[in-house]
Every structure is written in structure tokens, then in C-alpha cells.
Structure 1
Amino acid sequence: MKHMKVLNVDLTSGSVSITSVEAQGPVTLGVRILSNEDTYSKDPLDPSVPFIIGIGPFVGGKLPGVHRAIAVFKSPMTKTIHVAAIGGVAYKFMGSGIDAVVVRGRSGKPTALFISSDGVEVRQVNPVYSYSGLNGVYAFTKYLMDSFNDFFTKYNARAIVVGEAALKTYNGALFSIDVDPRRREFKPGAEDTAARGGPGTVMAQGHNLVAIVAGGSVKARYVKVTDMNLINKMSMESFKKPFIQVMGEKTIKYRYDPSMGTGGTFGVNYPHYRELLPLFGYKSIYMPRDIRVKHVEAIINLFWKPFNDEVFVKSKSWYNCGDFGCSVVCKKVWRGKKVDYEPFHAAGPFIGNYIFQEAVKVVDLIDEYGFDAIEMGHVIAWVFDSIENGLLKPEEVGLSDKPIFNPYEFAPERDSLRNAKLAGELINGLVNKSTPILRMIAENGIRVSARRLNEMFSDRVKATGKSFNDLVVYVAYGESGYMTPNFYWTPGMVAPMYILGRYWTNYSNTFMKPEDYAKSALERAINEALIDDAGICRFHRGWAEPMLEKMYSEFTGMKPNKNLYRELAEYSIKAGAQPKPWESSRAADVVATLAKEIGSKEWVFESKSDYTEWWIRYKVALDKQLGVA
């Protein structure tokens, strides 16, 4: 058994050490470090709270999709442990010979880590967000590549950087784009973010660490991962088919599905989910099916078709994230812009913008600043809806006009342009904290800001009969933590799970009694946690989950940590950040309206007690199954 090689960096003292730690993967390592160092009651941005980022054990061999870097941190949003993944990074990161980096302390000046197979350097680096005709994280990455080209070239390195959002707001992501150091160019499509929960904010504001650059000559952690015969043997035992065939079948959605004439999350989700897509900040859950169908027809024509015609008919520009050898090529690139469902839905139909080309501009701005796009979609929709309902005035949030956020009055080809333009103004305003309200949101997020806004504008709340928290969908954790859901109309995205904002839940468009739903969601959460712990892309989960135990046993001599989700739950409980009942009526109605949509007879949610009962029974069942009740 090989232990994880862990780089420990104290940015206060500048000290660096390497230790050997027994752990199945970066999530197991991170949870145990954060637990053992008694960080439960500490502020997530306290420099003494470690930030962990690492890779899984299966890197460097014949397996595709195993090269994700995984960040584990105490989230400024949820106030408990969160996990975020970034694709392709581990393929070059593994060259350093380091399996994980644990950052403690805070540098007095912005700092970057340069990690190679020859050692570690801690350097002061001021982030540059306008350079060589580029903006934001793209500019900073290019600046690093040009300024330290000898390092990038010698070690075939890749950088993880933060943007202005991480320096100035609660909602900063980690950003990485693969580079060709000899040509000093970005690799098309090979960009990704670890965004949910604010890992960039923790790295930047907690530790003043603005970049990690890693590479080197070290290859596979375990020699057996290069043995294709062994991989095929495990595949035959699990599926009765050779590995390449199984991998192709299990990842067809993300590559190209000939039955749908499209591929990737963006290409597949719109024609698949259709009238079940959440639109206008989830207001669509209240709309009759025939009205939703009309909206979807406009979305397919104006939003989906331009992408599909370009990517699958004309250019066929498909790439991977930098995970060498991965044939899934899930990164669909439209005229140089990587397109995925969640960021484009956040900048598109969710905020009342059905014009694809306008969404490209909004996503570009979100990416340049290094925001989490999903959270930004919720923030924009919330502010727009607050204006629509008379709770806010455009000038109070730095907008030049009033958005059109009534789906019954929305004219797609006319109003999309207005909403997209105002979304750009709002994004810029948040980073620049251009008004007192935007400063409050940028520093505190949705849940705390909603409470304060209810107090500040109590007269408007009373006059309209609407509260700020009822116009946005989020799940509450403890006294002040929260998480906004991924863009699916499903109870699983708002149910009382210990980690949300990822796919660690049953996210299908279904409804069932709370005990059954909790069981199905927990099974999914446990498997998703194990996939992250192994550093495996979830697009490969179809083949990886059935083979995972064999992979650990054959390659590493270990077993997967099946107690991992329980360890996460126990931390949340000790941190006082376990799930709390819905504070947002719209969040609760995500459950109630889907029950109605599929024709539930048992659960009709006619009274508040129905909502309370479903939530409590779910939470009790979940905790009982976890053994934390």
C-alpha cells in the first residue's frame, strides 16, 4: 500500500514539509484533517482552517477520466465542509509527485505555489487581470505562463488560479485552463472550474494564495493502472464486456448521442428535460404545462439550436478537459467558448435570456471574474425578481433599467437582450460593490442578505406580501449557511442533505415518500462522494462505480472509504451546520409542485404541516440510515 504524499505549506511562516498519510483520496484526507484540527467552530476564512486540494490514486495509467483535482474546504457559504472538483488538472499535477497540498496560515502578500518533481517554491505574485488582450482569470493564467515560462516548459505544468470574485466576494471559484507552454497558447476546451461553495474565496481571502502551478516528471502512482489486461479483466467481471466498449456505452450522453443528434450536458439536457427545466428563478414551477411548453419551444429555437448547429453540424469542435487519453471529449466549444448546461442556463433561461449569443457574453464575464456560475444565476434571478415584485428599485442595485422577469409578459427576442445587458451590469456591480446593497450581497451571500433586506425594506415586504427569501431557492444550514441548487426541478436538490450544490443526491425528476427518497438520495450521495475521493470525473461514474472496489483492491490494496459521507455529516453536526427546514417558500414548492406534476395522490401539500412533515420525515430517515440520529 502506498500512502498519499502530502505537501504541507504554512504561508504565515513560509515553512514547507512533506508527509506520508494513509488515506484513500483527497476527500477522506481533507475531512480527517479538518476534523482532527478541531475547525468546527472556526470561521471558514480563518487562516488556521486548512485548505486541501489533491488528486486520486488512479492517475497516470490507462484509465480515462481519473484526473480530476479535488478541493476540500470549510465553505463560507454552507459553514461546513464542502467538496469541489476541477477536471483534467491531475494529469499534469501528478508530475510533481505530490498527491495533495494542505495550506495553512496566511501570507502577508499575494502568493503562488510552484510545485514540481524537483521541489516547492513559495513566491509572491500579484494577480494580473488585464494582460495581453485578455481579462480576468484568462489574463492571470497567461501572465503566469509568460512570466514563468521556464517552469511551465520544463515541468509541463498547469496552473490553478483565482479571479477578482475570490478576492472580493463570498463566491469565488478555482479556475484552470491547460496550456501549451512552448507555443504559449491555451488548449481549446481544456478549461474547468471548481466553483461550488467558494473554494477560491477560501484560498484567496483565507490564505492570500492566488495560484498553484504544478507539474513534473512523475507518472503513475500505482504501476498496475497501466495494465490494460488487468483493466479489461475487471471490466469483464463487472460487465461481461471489454473496458473500451463499456466506457463508450456509459459515457454516450457526454460525447455524442446519435439518437438525439447531440451531446454534452448542454446539448442533451434541453431536449431531454424540456418543460421540466427551471426558468425565471424557478418561477416556472408554478406555470401550467402548456405555457412551459411554449417557453421551451422558444428556448430550443433561439438558445439550443444555434449551439447544436455550430458544434455538431459545422465545426464539430469537441475536446476534453486536459485528461489525456479521455475519448469522451465532453467539452463542446462554440467559437472558442466552452459550453456546458449549468453555466449557460445560469446566464440564459434561468435569468430570462433565451438568446444563446447573449448568454455567451454573460458567461464570459462570469468566467473572467472567476465566479461560480450556478450561484450567480441564482443571485441575478433573485435580484431581478425582487425588482419585478417591487422589493427593490433598479438604481439600488446599480441597474440602468428594469428587467423583464414576468414569464407571462416575456417576449424572448426583445426582452432577452435587456435582461442579458442588465445581468452584466449586476455582475460588474457585485465585484465593484457599487451600491450598499450589492456590497452586502457580495460579502454575505443570499441567506444573510435576504434577512437584512427584509428588515431594511420591511415596509415594502408588508406592502407587497413578498419577502426576499421567498423569491430565491436555497437550502439552509445552521444559523447562516446555505446552498443554492443545481438547475433541476427535483426534490433531491432541496432536500435536507448534508452536502448539496453538487450531484450528491437523487436529482431525477421524481417524487416519493420521504423515507424512500432519503434512501435513494443517500445511496447516490455515498457513490458520488467515493467518485470524488477517487479523483474520477462523474461523467465516468457509469463504469467507475461498479468497478471501484475492484480498482482499489487491485491497484492500491485499499478499500474505498464507505464511511466518508457519514464522516462529512458528523462534521456538519459538530459545526452546527446541519440542514435546517426551508426558509424559502419557493424552495419548499420545488417539492410540492413536482409532486403535483407527476400526480402524487398521497402528498398534496395543502397545508404548511404537510411541508414540515415531509421535511422532518426525510431528515429523520436520512440520519437513521447514516447512524447519526
Structure 2
Amino acid sequence: MEVLEIDVGKKRAQRRSVAAGGPLEAALRIHSERETWRLDPLSPECPVVIGYGPFVGGRLYGVHRLIFVFKSPQTKTLHVSALGGAAYKAMGASVQAISIVGKAERPTAILVAAGRVEFADVEPGDAYQTIKQLYARHRDFFVQNDARALAVGPAAYTTYSGAVVSVDLSKTGEPKPGAEDFAARGGPGTALAQGHNVAALAIGGPKTPLYRQIADGEAIDRIFLQKFGKRYIEVVNEKTVKYRFDQKLGTGGTFGVNYVHYRDLLPLFGYKSIYMSREERIKHADLILELFWRPFQREVFEKSKSWYNCGEPCPVVCKKVWHGKKVDYESFHAAGPFIGNYIFEEAVPLVDMVDRLGLDAIEAGHLIAWLFDAVYVGLLKPEEVGIDDKPAFDPRSFNPTEDSRRNARLAAKLLENLVNNTTEVLTLVAKHGIRRAARELEKKLRDRVLATGHRFRDLAVYAAYGAEGYMTPNFYWAPGLVAPMYIQGRYWTNYNPTFMAPEDFAKSSYERAVAEAYIDNAGICRFHRGWAEPVLKELYKLVGLDPPTPEIYRGFAQYAKLAGAEPMPWESKRARDLVSTLARELGSREWSFQDYDDYYEWWIRFKEALDKLVSGGA
């Protein structure tokens, strides 16, 4: 595949060929060549690789994800993040991937179209304003090349968890409804901003398929008829029901479906809900359905039916928009029930604030919940995180209306203070993240730890990597999300609310991780995985490429080992309890987790089984 290597420090670009079938394979090769496991994640010599899969521009839907592969300032190893729809315009770059190295003297925008590269100064700020500024200054480039903009927010320059924000604009420069998305997990925005001083990109050019065969509708139909006994569009409609509209549930999209489907199994109050009885959790689930889910349902499904796609032509229209704001489960749960806010209308401006600041929404939810809990139990004083009141953070005494409004107000102030580094505590957190900050705060505030009986680390839920890296889980009560997998924070694991023996769990998680790696390497949206995974090999053969192999996941595992960022045993009591409480909830007889040795044995056996699978063992 063709890769455009851009050195923003020298303002140079050159093309090269890389033996790879997709952006993950290309990134692994590029990082291996440069031996970036030796480098700081924010070194200018550590590339951020941005690319797409081989199936763009043809008759397939959901194949236009833009994939980011970078050494994460959070996990300290290679991470993968993705945003929807952007490759529909980025395929005009005439290369399948861009690799960014070097560091610009000033905040810089990179404009790429048809293999040509321009550099321009940009004034970084609110991510949406940066995109508008870029369009206003380079309108001819956007119009002539039908380009799509990407930008970081202020959080990318001041925290470890900056996102990349992308909005598809119309020819008049107005945002297209629903066509906004975020590559956020692991801090790709921080890698771009602090590592390379890249604040924005615009990518466009002539839209042509990489391979003409992918525009052959009859050839595609033959593959699906052979595999499913149905034509392609019929299979797409069947396999994407959840994300479009599920008639059985009367709703659709991740937000609409998850609250109805998971109900009392969804984590609340920074995972404190795992300690509640099922009866208590059901009461909270009913409140959330009425106060948080129902307003969305009335507006989006019963009234306006404002459903859109991510910017590529796609019939799934998974983007559900409430009064102009795209609503997804993860971001709204982060600004809602996870931080003790059950009022949907209070979450909307908070999500918008997270997006404008350019923060990873999931990580922001974990940060807020962790600091709220630390203030609530007395480990921190409100003023030490720049707020004027204690949050309401006990689900058993929670007033859903008054306390939700208080928590939403405090969360907004907390995020503003975090990004502006206004207190010593928040500066520590913004620079290093939860894991290292927790350790340093335990040393500095040892008297409070002893007085309260709480450790900072025990109020958070994360998977640890090496000496300092970590990743917080997506918002499910699922042991697989904190299990010792080499990439966490996305769905490269068994993320179901289930429990089993560690060897079986490792096998199921490994198989899911390999499948997810294939999908990301192909640049395919996860919402389309139901039809894509069974025919992926045939699609690669259709365009004359070798199908992906488990070597992709093995490559990420080997890199983590070289970088000193392998999975480490659980440090947080609440992370361990996420595993044991679900085991009890599901009636596990073999694993009672009476003491730390039980947790350690389960973790070790999982890790050993995983490593055997990664190395190619049976």
C-alpha cells in the first residue's frame, strides 16, 4: 500500500510503498522500522499513522472508517482509535495512509489532496471553532477537493487524553447533522498536538475506489449469496438492525438500545453500582429510563426521526441527533449515569463541552467519577479540584433531580479546571492520568488515606500496563474489559457481561480481539461487523489481496513487550471487584474470590492462556 510520510518539522513529504493490506499492518511495520518502543510516546520521532482500508469508494457500506495507530501517552504502547465516515473523503489523498513525524514550530494544519501536501498555521482552541477557522481560511481547498476536516481541542495540548474531532462540512461550511465523530481512546489528539504540534488536518481529493472490483455489485452479491443465501443489501439490513431501528425494542442506536437491553447491568457512579443488590439496581434503571432515556426516545424516535449517517453514504443511519447534538451511548453515559447525572438535558451541554475541549469522552467520565468519589469520601477537598461543593456520589441516597443538576454543574467546572490545569491536583492528573496520579496522591496525602480508609487507586477502574500505562474500560459491567489483553479501551476483548474459567475467557477474548483487529485493519465500522466478518476473506480475495492473519494482534503484543507495557495485575480494588461481583451475580461456583490470591490466580491463568494463543499455541 502507498503511504505518505510527512515531516512537519521540515515541512517535507514523500511517498513510499509498504507491504501491508491495511493501516494496522502498515503502522506495525512503520513503528517496527523506527523502533519506537524505545521512544517516549510524545517524541517527534514517534509517528502517528492515519489510514483506511482497501474497500473504499465502491459498493460496500460502512467501509470508510479512518484509523489512527500511535504510541499512546496513556497506555505507553501502540493503540488503535477510529472515527467514522472520514475515509469517504480521505480516499482522495491518493495514498492509503499518512505517517506524521517531526514537530512544527507553531501549531500547524496539514492539507492533503491527490498526493499533494500543504502546511498552514492555525490557532488551536475549541475543536469546532478550529475546524470552522480552517474552512474559512482554506475554503477553496475544501470546495475544490471536497475535503473533510479533523482537529484537536485544547485538551490535546494540556492533558494526556486529547481526542481527534472530525466534522463533515457542507459546501457552505456548515456542519452536516450527525456527521461528527471522534478518534479518542488512548489520546491520539495528544500525540498529534504535543508530539508534532499538529492541530488540524484537511484531507480530500477525487473519490475513486482503490480497487475497481469493489465497485462490481454483481461480484459482491455473488459472495453474499454463497455465504448467506441473500443479496448484499438484504444481509446489511438484517445485521444492522440494532443501530438503525429495532422494532422489537422500539428504538435504535447504541444509546437507544443499551439502556433497554442492559438495564440494571450498566455501571453507575463510577462502578459503585456493582455493590448494590439487583433490586436496588432495577430501581435506578427505571429512573434512568424515565429521566435519561425517555426524552431522547420521544424526540428522536417518536417525533423528529432525526437519523443520519457519519458522512459516508450508508443506509444504516445510526447517528441519532437530538436538537443538533449526536447522541451515542458511551459519551452520554459518561456525562450521565456514570457520574451521577440522570437528567438527559443536563448531559447534552456537558457532552458538547467534552467534544469542544477535544477530550476522550469515556476517559472524561472515568476522571470525573474518580475525582467526585475522592472528594465524596474525603480524600480530596472540593477546592483542590476547583469546585465549590461536594458531589452527590452515593447511589443509595441519591436524589435524581436535585443531585443530577448539582453533579452536572460540578462536572462542567471540573473539566474546565482540568484542561486549564488550574490546581496542583488537576495539573498532576492532566499530565499523568489516573494511575500515576493516584500513586502520587497516596504518598502526598497519606494522612487522609489512613483517616478515610480509602486509597485513591481503589476508587478507579482500569487495566494496568507496565510501570505507568493504563486504560479505563468502556461502560459495561464486563470482566473482559479489565482482563489482561494487550489492547483495551475498545472492543478487542470479550466485552459481554459474562464470567467463565480464565482459560475459556482468554480464548473468547483473544478470538474477539483478532476479529476486531481484522475489522479495524479493513477500515470497517463495527456496526457492520455482523455481515463483514463472515465474508472478509472473500472480500480480500476479490480485490487480489491476502486476507489478514493473527499476526496483526501478535504484532501489537510483541510491541507492548518491547515497550515494557505488558498487562499488569490489577492494582485497584474496584477493578478486581468488577470481576468478582459479576461472578457472584451469575452464580459462579468455582470462583468465589475470597482473597487477593484468588484474583491473582485468575489473572495469571488468563494471561498465560492468552500468551499461549498469541504465540500460536493450541
Normalised by the shorter chain, which TM-score bucket?
over 0.9
Amino acid at match of 1:523: E
Give the structure 2 partner of residue 186 of structure 1.
175
Give the structure 2 partner of residue 433 of structure 1.
421
Q: Decide which of 42, 47, 55 is 1:45's aligned counterpart.
A: 42
Give the structure 2 partner of residue 359 of structure 1.
347
Contact 2:94–2:115, Cα closer than 8 Å, also in 1: no
Relative to the length of structure 1, the TM-score reads 0.97
Give the structure 1 partner of residue 77 of structure 2.
80
1:238-249 → structure 2 map (5 Å cutoff): 238-249=227-238
Is 1:152 matched up with 2:149?
no
Amino acid at match of 1:106: K
Amino acid at match of 2:540: Y
1:603-618 → structure 2 map (5 Å cutoff): 603-618=591-606
Q: Which runs of 5+ in 2 are unaligned?
A: none
Is 1:281 matched up with 2:270?
yes
Q: Decide which of 390, 397, 415 is 1:402's aligned counterpart.
A: 390
Give the structure 1 partner of residue 577 of structure 2.
589
- For residues 75 and 184 of structure 1, the distance between their equivalents in structure 2, rounded to whole angstroms, comes to 32
- For residues 589 and 370 of structure 1, the distance between their equivalents in structure 2, rounded to whole angstroms, comes to 31
Give the structure 1 partner of residue 201 of structure 2.
212
Give the structure 2 partner of residue 225 of structure 1.
214
Is 1:575 matched up with 2:563?
yes
1:130-169 → structure 2 map (5 Å cutoff): 136-169=126-159
- For residues 488 and 50 of structure 1, the distance between their equivalents in structure 2, rounded to whole angstroms, comes to 32
Q: CA deviation at 1:364?
A: 0.8
1:43-442 → structure 2 map (5 Å cutoff): 43-117=40-114, 119-127=116-124, 129=125, 136-181=126-171, 183-324=172-313, 326-442=314-430
Give the structure 2 partner of residue 24 of structure 1.
21
Structure 2 residue matching 1:560: 3-state secondary structure = coil
- For residues 7 and 401 of structure 2, the distance between their equivalents in structure 1, rounded to whole angstroms, comes to 53
Contact 1:56–1:67, Cα closer than 8 Å, also in 2: yes
Give the structure 2 partner of residue 514 of structure 1.
502
Contact 1:58–1:534, Cα closer than 8 Å, also in 2: yes
- For residues 597 and 348 of structure 1, the distance between their equivalents in structure 2, rounded to whole angstroms, comes to 24
Percent identity among equivalent residues?
A: 57
Q: Decide which of 3, 8, 13 is 1:6's aligned counterpart.
A: 3
Structure 2 residue matching 1:556: 3-state secondary structure = coil
Contact 1:117–1:218, Cα closer than 8 Å, also in 2: no
Give the structure 2 partner of residue 132 of structure 1.
none
- For residues 232 and 179 of structure 2, the distance between their equivalents in structure 1, rounded to whole angstroms, comes to 25
Give the structure 1 partner of residue 552 of structure 2.
564
Is 1:554 matched up with 2:551?
no
- For residues 87 and 471 of structure 2, the distance between their equivalents in structure 1, rounded to whole angstroms, comes to 27
Q: CA deviation at 1:281?
A: 0.1
Q: Decide which of 502, 512, 523 is 2:511's aligned counterpart.
A: 523
Contact 1:96–1:115, Cα closer than 8 Å, also in 2: yes
- For residues 184 and 372 of structure 1, the distance between their equivalents in structure 2, rounded to whole angstroms, comes to 25
1:439-518 → structure 2 map (5 Å cutoff): 439-518=427-506
Amino acid at match of 1:239: F
Q: Summarize deviations over 1:167-220 as a string: whole Å, max 9, x none.
A: 111010000010012x22110010000000000000010001111111111410
Amino acid at match of 2:548: P
Count of residues in correspondence between the two structures = 617
Structure 1 residue matching 2:320: 3-state secondary structure = strand
Q: CA deviation at 1:361?
A: 1.2
- For residues 162 and 458 of structure 2, the distance between their equivalents in structure 1, rounded to whole angstroms, comes to 25
Q: Which runs of 5+ in 1 are unaligned?
A: 130-135
Relative to the length of structure 2, the TM-score reads 0.99
Contact 2:95–2:115, Cα closer than 8 Å, also in 1: no
Structure 1 residue matching 2:38: 3-state secondary structure = coil
Amino acid at match of 2:317: V
| Aligned-CA RMSD value | 0.9
- For residues 241 and 514 of structure 1, the distance between their equivalents in structure 2, rounded to whole angstroms, comes to 38
Q: CA deviation at 1:628?
A: 7.7
Contact 2:89–2:207, Cα closer than 8 Å, also in 1: no
Structure 2 residue matching 1:499: 3-state secondary structure = coil
Structure 1 residue matching 2:15: 3-state secondary structure = strand
Contact 2:123–2:130, Cα closer than 8 Å, also in 1: no
Contact 1:566–1:628, Cα closer than 8 Å, also in 2: no
Contact 1:7–1:17, Cα closer than 8 Å, also in 2: yes
Point out 4+ residue stretches in structure 1 off by more than 4 angstroms. Answer: none
- For residues 126 and 357 of structure 1, the distance between their equivalents in structure 2, rounded to whole angstroms, comes to 31
Is 1:538 matched up with 2:526?
yes
- For residues 537 and 68 of structure 2, the distance between their equivalents in structure 1, rounded to whole angstroms, comes to 23
Contact 1:173–1:200, Cα closer than 8 Å, also in 2: yes
Amino acid at match of 2:353: L
